[in-house]
Chains A and B, each alone.
Chain A
Amino acid sequence: MNRREKILKKLNESGLDGLLFASGANFQYVVESNSYFWQRYCFNLDEPVAGARIIPEAMVYLNKEGKSTILTTPLLKEHFDTTLNDVVVSYMDQFEDELTKIIDGKKIGIGRDCEAWFRKTLKVKLIEVEDIFYDLRRIKDEKEIALMTKLGKFTDDAVMYVCKHLKPGMTMFDAERMIVDYGLQNGMADLSFPPTCGFKTRNTENAQSIEPFENDRKLVEGTMIAFDIGYMDRGYCSDWGRTVYYGKAPELVKKGYEALQAGETYMLSKIVPGVTKFGELYGFICDKVEELGYYDYLRFKRDETGGNGHHIGSEVHELPFLVPGDELVLQPGMIFCSEPKMFFKNEGYMRVEDMILVTEDGAKFLTNFPRDLFEIEL
């Protein structure tokens, strides 16, 4: 089944007459066009306050027969594939009129993007269907996998660039600015979220707790740097983590980082597509970390929710978040992030985050930054 067929199957199962999406992840998914830059805003998913209230400049209606119609402004029309979609061009103030003509059903599924405008404008019954689309979008096709593989590699390279350009005395903000500039100079359309190059310097007040990070904290020997970086390009996101140590690291944290990485690779090796459940993954990490004697340093314990990971695609956080006990089974084509963390009081904060693609017979990392690169020479 191709993407359109899969969407139609879901649509028919749902009992809805059609689907209507404004500029956003589901819109991009339905129209199969990723050159149009919709303003994404990190965490719109968690707090859709902004995105829900934006006025749409493009929207798509898909009916039960599989006919999709894009309604947009003259300015944006060239972005859309007219072999797959009808494109109706009108003025924004006329969208209500045009949309009323396009919609041929009484019970329509909508997303959260521009939800307020849809609810104000349309008289038909509107039902939020973001969840259905998370189910659909969770399995990536070849094109999506290729784009996200490239993004994983790009992020590897960006952080390597930063590691090579670290200078004593530079601030955390300076380091993060390098991430931004590297993206801008290399044609990345956006960030997935504000980047963090989290500095924690041993035996300082700053290393007493995980939060907060301080933008003006200066890089000195004995600083642990926890990266949390994501770029967005051609409609897809990366999300990425590693940790490096500026100077010679104490044995405890060096071994800790090895344990964290070992946990991550062990978890990946345990994946059996069609069998393993998302709710089991963090347990594998815990098993390995415990075996290596570092369980106490894990930020989240076995049964804790938070920070284990999430699905990723055209939004950086796609649902569901990975939580213990999640029954969802891993299937080929899924891409998710696993992000275990450790905290060493007085020493620093450490994180690893990988984008993982589930394959036919296992899983593979899309993020391949060397796992044994920890100590950075001054």
Chain B
Amino acid sequence: MREDRILKTIKELNKQGVEAVVYGPGANFQYILDATDYWWQRSCDTNIMGFSSAYNLPDALLYLNNKGDYQIICNYHNKDYFTKKYLGHVTCSYMDQFEDALAPFIKEKRIGVSVSCSKFIGEILKNINKDIEIVDGENLLNDIRCFKEADEIKTLRELCNFTDDAVMYVVNNLKMGMSQREAENLLVKYGYDHGVSDFSFPPTVGFKTQNTITTEDVEYYDREWKLQPQTGIAFDVGYMNKGYCSDWGRSVYVGKAPDICKKGYEALNKGVEYMASEIVPYKTNINELYALVMKKVDELGMLDYLRYKDVQMLGHQIGIDCHEFPMVNKDFDFVIKPGMTFAVEPKMWFPNEMYMRVEDIVLITEDGAEILTKFPRDLFEIEVK
């Protein structure tokens, strides 16, 4: 149990006028309990569009109130896991009994619940006391979880290295005639062979071949498309391990790339590096970051190709969930401080040529920013047999 996280949570509860939380297995549950080895069913974008996970049935619940009292209600089959770690704070019961098991602890009237299992939790809380006001508990901890602690940073750093290596493995194993799907399956295999527990989201090894692009929808890929000369490949890859997520992007070009694409890729990478170098902790705001990338890209004469200039969308925080708050765009007003880790993902689009993306995870340190994703930025044109 992490007393420090409980204290931080209590502070947030008081600040937001919430008396207690009940969380099903999910990011906040994992965070408060530091249960990084407890596998809950995550599905990408749970935090943003939590429609499916809302209907999941919990095999464990966490109750925590603003005085720091907490209790885990768990099923028979995960009893050993929880009692070993949180002795004295575990009620083992059966799922049909979770309401009864939880009831003695619930004295509060304004309770935050997670998106995960929210339907079930909402129902049992209303049965316990119909006067309970149920509020969103999913976003209560956003402002704490965005500042990572040393062990979280260590896990994220490892994951970034792993993702660098995984994509290098794919780059080295591409074959002419291979489909996009097969290339993506190399990522599945690499993750699985190395014991990584999950993906953060379905990976994309996006193929776009020169003069064959029929749609303006850059996100559309024909996954049966075969690899051939003059194909640009945009990677969007994330792995999940030990409870944390990576999110990662680079682009490569099979064969000799048109000058404009080469120049674009260089500008895109320079934009990211420049943005990171300009960050001053406690001073720079998250809403300024896209403009920094834009400034450098403009200097290098490639601004026309940069995407999302209107909304200035650059990325998102990352941690237990792949997409965490605050988002990195011009509408989120949030001063950057040490411990934040966010993904920045500027993109370029060259009609008839290729779609290009770079995505890095940036860690804010005491005196600046460090980019945790180290895949070589000068690797663009590749030879494939």
Question: Using a CB–CB distance below 8 Å, which chain A residues touch chain B?
Answer: 37, 39-42, 49-50, 53-55, 57, 73-75, 89-94, 96-97, 116-117, 173, 176-177, 180, 183-184, 188-191, 193-194
Contact = CB atoms under 8 A, between A and B. Distances in A.
B25 to A, nearest CB: 11
Nearest to A100: B181
- Per CB-CB distance, the 6 closest pairs between chain A and chain B, nearest first, are A53-B55, A191-B94, A194-B96, A93-B202, A91-B199, A93-B199
Interface string B90-106: 00111111001000000
Contacts of A73: 39, 198
Interface of B: 39, 41-44, 52-53, 55-57, 59, 75-77, 79, 92-97, 100, 119-120, 181, 184-185, 188, 191-192, 197-199, 201-202
A194 B93 CA distance: 11
Contact of B191 (A50, A91, A191, A193): A91
B124 to A, nearest CB: 11
A192 to B, nearest CB: 8
A75 B195 CA distance: 11
Contact of B94 (A50, A90, A92, A183): A183
Given A55-B52, A189-B77, A90 B188 contact: yes
Nearest to A90: B188
Contacts of B42: 92
A49 B52 CA distance: 12
A96 B202 CA distance: 10
Contacts of B41: 55, 57, 92
A55 B77 contact: no
Nearest to A53: B55
- Which of A40, A41, A74, A193 is most buried by chain B, counting CB atoms within 10 A of its CB? A74
Contacts of A116: 52
B95 A190 contact: yes
Given A75-B39, A194-B96, A91 B55 contact: no
A55 B41 CA distance: 8
B119 to A, nearest CB: 7
Contact of B198 (A53, A93, A117, A184): A93
A50 B120 contact: yes
Given A91-B198, A96-B202, 15 more contacts: A39-B57, A42-B96, A55-B56, A90-B192, A92-B42, A92-B198, A93-B43, A93-B202, A94-B199, A97-B181, A97-B184, A180-B93, A183-B94, A184-B93, A191-B96
Contact of A75 (B56, B57, B75, B197): B197
Contacts of A55: 41, 43, 52-53, 56
B102 to A, nearest CB: 13
20 contacts: A37-B75, A39-B57, A39-B95, A50-B120, A54-B57, A73-B39, A74-B192, A91-B199, A92-B199, A93-B198, A96-B202, A97-B181, A116-B52, A180-B93, A184-B92, A184-B93, A188-B76, A190-B94, A190-B95, A194-B96
Contacts of B188: 90-91, 94
Nearest to B123: A50
A39 B59 contact: yes
A23 to B, nearest CB: 11
Nearest to B43: A55
Contact of A184 (B39, B59, B76, B185): B76
A57 B57 CA distance: 13
A50 B199 contact: no
Nearest to A76: B39
Contacts of B53: 55
Given A53-B55, A92-B41, A93-B44, A190 B76 contact: yes
B55 A94 contact: no
A92 B45 CA distance: 13
A188 B75 CA distance: 11
Nearest to A54: B56
A186 to B, nearest CB: 11
A92 B42 CA distance: 8
Contacts of A37: 75, 77
